[in-house]
Amino acid sequence: MRLFGRKSEPVDHGELIAAFWSWWDEARPRVDALVDAGDAGELAELVGPAVTALDASLIWEVAPGLAAKHALVVSAAGNPELRAFAHRWALAGPAADERWEFHPSRQANPQALDLTIDVGGHQFSMDRFVLGLRVPPGTPRVNVSAYHPIFQDIDDETRMETTLLALDWLLGEDEVARWVGDIVAAEYEPIDSIAAIHLPGVVADVAQSFPADRWALLEGQTGTGKPLTATARYPLRPVDYPLFDQHISLTVPYRDADPNGLPTPEALAALTTFTEQLTTHLTAEAVLTAHLTTEGTRTFHIYANPTSPTATTLKTFATTWPTGRPRLTTDNDPSWSAVAHFLT
């Protein structure tokens, strides 16, 4: 069920989440009965308003569980503004039992290739779903051109929605966000298409080439034409850190610069030491995503769980910088817009 709309007034997400789970405790016997009866219409009328009360842009579904019999999925559906909210919703839920488990994104379905659904009066069966795949050299992405025989009989929007659902079944929603790049829902079968069953294997091969904790060194220019250097995690994706929606910007000035404003060897050595020490002050609740050096300053971009003491810890640590006054700011940035140029 896809529901649209945004709340116009600031809301307390914690209160909304607590209210949902209180509702769930009361409504669960009715939910269980409707699921057992296969009454999708009544179930939507019961669960839909409760999810909408969280945020009208969230989507939800009841799916087969991975360990439990059923899973309640409440997903941001790719909306970065809501990803952390959905994950906090799941974390606040009750422990899974034999009947229910809870997820903030669609999980890969082990029986995906046996599934058939009705799409606008046409039967979409996964065994006839094929893909044309391209992996641009040196990139952590698989571009997908998807085709099913019914795609010639349905409109563009429905083709794309069906393709996205099928990819989620094959990989899981988060893995699609991590590894799938451009997606085309094709009206005609790609010449070199393969059965969709092979997609997880292709993605696994790509993932092996991009282990965690790799960094990319970049060079460029500022808006005034001054040179800059940047170091960023590669790949860098917010989906890997769903609770880290607090952006912390820490800027330190250096006095020893060359005529282009870049650090001299002595200043670079001090910056390197400071950077290494900074990372030791980050717990599992925060991550250094990138830093930029130009015109006498280095700016670090850290993302953290706002419930962690990261900002306070770094504010104290920043005072150890020996030259000039550091500047630290924090803001809410669930889409990681401050490092948009480095997202992969």
Q: What does the pLDDT look like over 80-98, one tens digit per residue?
A: 999 999 999 999 999 999 9
Taking residue 187's Cβ as centre, other Cβ atoms within 10 Å add up to 12
User: 10 pLDDT exceeds 90?
Assistant: no
Is the bond leading into 263 cis (omega within 30 degrees of zero)? no
Q: What is the pLDDT of residue 18?
A: 97
Contact (Cβ atoms closer than 8 angstroms) between residue 292 and residue 329: no
Q: What is the mean pLDDT of residues 187-216?
A: 94
Single-letter residue type at 343: L
Q: What is the mean pLDDT of residues 98-124?
A: 93
User: 114 pLDDT exceeds 90?
Assistant: no
- The DSSP secondary structure of 221-255, one letter per residue, reads E-TTS-EEEEEEESS--GGGSTT--EEEEEEEE-S
Q: What is the mean pLDDT of residues 255-264?
A: 95
Closest CA to 333 of 86, 90, 105, 80: 80
Q: What is the pLDDT of residue 269?
A: 97
Contact (Cβ atoms closer than 8 angstroms) between residue 296 and residue 210: no
Q: What is the pLDDT of residue 156?
A: 96
- As a whole number, the mean pLDDT across the chain is 94
Q: What is the mean pLDDT of residues 109-118?
A: 87
Q: What is the mean pLDDT of residues 57-64?
A: 95
Question: Regarding beta strands 70-75 and 286-294, do their DSSP bridges make them parallel or antiparallel, or are they unpaired?
Answer: unpaired
Q: What is the mean pLDDT of residues 296-303?
A: 98
User: 190 pLDDT exceeds 50?
Assistant: yes
Residues 6+ apart with CB under 8 A from 93: 21, 24, 102
User: 167 pLDDT exceeds 90?
Assistant: yes
Q: What is the mean pLDDT of residues 260-264?
A: 96
What pLDDT, in 10s, does the model give residues 214-249? 999 999 999 889 999 999 999 999 999 999 999 999
Closest CA to 86 of 245, 236, 212, 235: 245
Query: 129 falls in which pLDDT band (50, 70, 90)?
Result: very high
DSSP-H helix ranges across the chain = 13-37, 40-54, 80-91, 156-171, 173-179, 199-208, 265-280, 310-318
Q: What is the pLDDT of residue 4?
A: 32
Q: What is the pLDDT of residue 5?
A: 37
User: 9 pLDDT exceeds 80?
Assistant: no
Query: 12 falls in which pLDDT band (50, 70, 90)?
Result: confident
Please report, for residues 85, 278, 322, the alpha-carbon distance to residue 20 in angstroms, rounded to integers and kept in the order given: 13, 39, 50
Taking residue 119's Cβ as centre, other Cβ atoms within 10 Å add up to 18
Q: What is the pLDDT of residue 17?
A: 98
User: 331 pLDDT exceeds 90?
Assistant: yes
Q: What is the pLDDT of residue 8?
A: 44
Please report, for residues 104, 105, 167, 184, the alpha-carbon distance to residue 171 in angstroms, rounded to integers and kept in the order given: 15, 11, 6, 17
Q: What is the mean pLDDT of residues 275-283?
A: 96
Q: What is the mean pLDDT of residues 253-276?
A: 96
Burial state string for 144-173 with b = 16 or more CB within 10 A and e = fewer than 16: bbbbbebbeebeeebbeebbbbbbbbbbbb
Structural domains in the chain? 13-103 (no CATH), 112-208 (no CATH), 215-342 (3.30.70)
Taking residue 107's Cβ as centre, other Cβ atoms within 10 Å add up to 20
Q: What is the pLDDT of residue 221?
A: 92
